[in-house]
Amino acid sequence: MRIRFYDCKILSMDGTDGTLDVEQGEVWVDGRYITYVGEKRASDQAFDREIDVRGDLVMPGFKDAHTHSSMTFLRSYADDLPLQEWLYEKVFPLEARLTGADMYQLAKVAILEYLTSGITCNFDMYLDPCQVARASVDLGFRTVLVGAVNDHSQSPEALETWYEDLNAYDPLVSFRLGFHAEYTTSRERLGEVAGLAEKYKAPVYCHNAETKAEVEQCIKRYGKTPTAFLDGLGMFRYGGGGYHCVHLTREDMEIFRERGLYVVTNPGSNAKLASGIAPVAEMLEMGIPIALGTDGPASKNCLDMFREMFLTTALAKLREEDASVVDAREVLRMAVSQGAHAMGLPECDCLKEGKLADLIIIDLHQPNMQPVNHIPKNLVYSGSKQNVRLTMVDGKILYEEGTFYVGEDPEEIYAHANEIARRIQKV
């Protein structure tokens, strides 16, 4: 389908000099790809649809670089608890009751929420990645899946099978090697995951240094922090990254920089679970690439990148007692282009001819976006989900003006999710 967006303000995020200039013009899409970004001009081709953007903003979609989509069944069920109690007494026991069919249905709820938040891709870690892949493809959403190998579920053998099968499953789906965390995974299994990284010359991702207790326990076990211990196993020889990374030491950050590892910070979840505030300003000063994630709908509850952007810069300023650190423009790059690169999706990092057509329209004609002084900073400090007019993934409009175009009735998706939640939570 050929679509023309006209009368647009355009934030392409294609600047190589680090600027985030907003220009006036048009964006053309043909099938899955962007074919033109620039000033208004005549076209010798016919469009199937021409959309008057009415002076609003067209920009690349947000990339939610750490999620657990199928955990929607636990939204607002097990709140106001510390992480370890939350995980071992509430989350793990209920997750054990889930079926593959449950995970498939529950992931759909999350996908609808991603679309309303202007998220065009997520980086998902959960028990059965095949179910999340199927839900994503059925609704037309892009997802990057990552393994969650640990001592209780998943295995290195399953990880290798998924790596080979899901990377060939559908253009909307890709898969990365990963494990849940050092504290849930034996040294033997971690060694097997590192072996797969070597075999496939592939990056590896995991939860890392989320809490002080996690780091202290790893030092007690191995005499090293999680980052140093895992690096010593050869885990990060080909890159990858860590989720949360709240309690990295200076040595850990040096390893991240040397290995080119991505930090995926989750300020909302870290704050709600009282895990701490990540040293984002120090990481940026060291040149460590940072992406943003919402974490799952059980720990963060809402899958909202606007909240994550605001919290990333606000908490950094609070931590450093310096209002000048972690500029909002840098945070916007984390939420868009850095997230794309953390997921291995450079073809989705900006609006440019030949890139995949994953884009959103932001309504600037709302009071929270007026007056129009500095659009990129306004997105971070004032923007909200109410400003998302349209979300396009892979050249298809999946959400527009409050209506979903995913081939299914949202009310039926919600009904399935509520049935599952009642059954799983019933004692």
Q: Which domain holds residue 87?
A: 62-346
- The strand pairing partners of 263, in sequence order, are 242, 290
Same structural domain for residues 92 and 40?
no
Same structural domain for residues 260 and 308?
yes
Q: Is the residue at 411 inside a domain?
A: no
Same structural domain for residues 236 and 310?
yes
E strands, 68-222, are 119-125, 142-146, 173-181, 204-208
Residues of the chain with pLDDT under 70: 16-19, 427
What pLDDT does 78 receive? Answer: 78
Same structural domain for residues 39 and 163?
no
What pLDDT does 157 receive? Answer: 98
Which structure tokens are listed for 193? 């995951």
With beta carbons less than 8 A apart as the criterion, state whether 398 and 140 touch.
yes
Give residue-wise pLDDT tens across range 147-195: 999 999 899 999 999 999 999 999 999 999 999 999 999 999 999 999 9
Same structural domain for residues 329 and 201?
yes
Instruction: Report the CATH number at residue 380.
Output: 2.30.40.10
Q: Is the residue at 419 inside a domain?
A: no
Same structural domain for residues 370 and 294?
no
Same structural domain for residues 289 and 359?
no
* Tally of structural domains, the chain: 2
Q: Is the residue at 420 inside a domain?
A: no
Cut 0.85: pTM above it: yes
* CA-CA-CA-CA dihedral for 406, 410, 413, 414, to nearest 10: 150
What pLDDT does 299 receive? Answer: 87
User: Percent of the chain, pLDDT > 70?
Assistant: 99
What pLDDT does 18 receive? Answer: 57
What pLDDT does 77 receive? Answer: 87
Give residue-wise pLDDT tens across range 238-270: 999 999 999 999 999 999 999 999 999 999 999
Same structural domain for residues 26 and 105?
no
With beta carbons less than 8 A apart as the criterion, state whether 369 and 387 touch.
yes
What pLDDT does 91 receive? Answer: 86
Same structural domain for residues 277 and 168?
yes
Q: 142 — phi, psi (to 5°)?
A: -90, 135
Same structural domain for residues 210 and 331?
yes
Same structural domain for residues 272 and 368?
no
Same structural domain for residues 19 and 148?
no
What pLDDT does 136 receive? Answer: 98
Q: Is the residue at 80 inside a domain?
A: yes
**In terms of Cα–Cα distance, which of 297, 262, 304, 276 is closest to 119?**
304
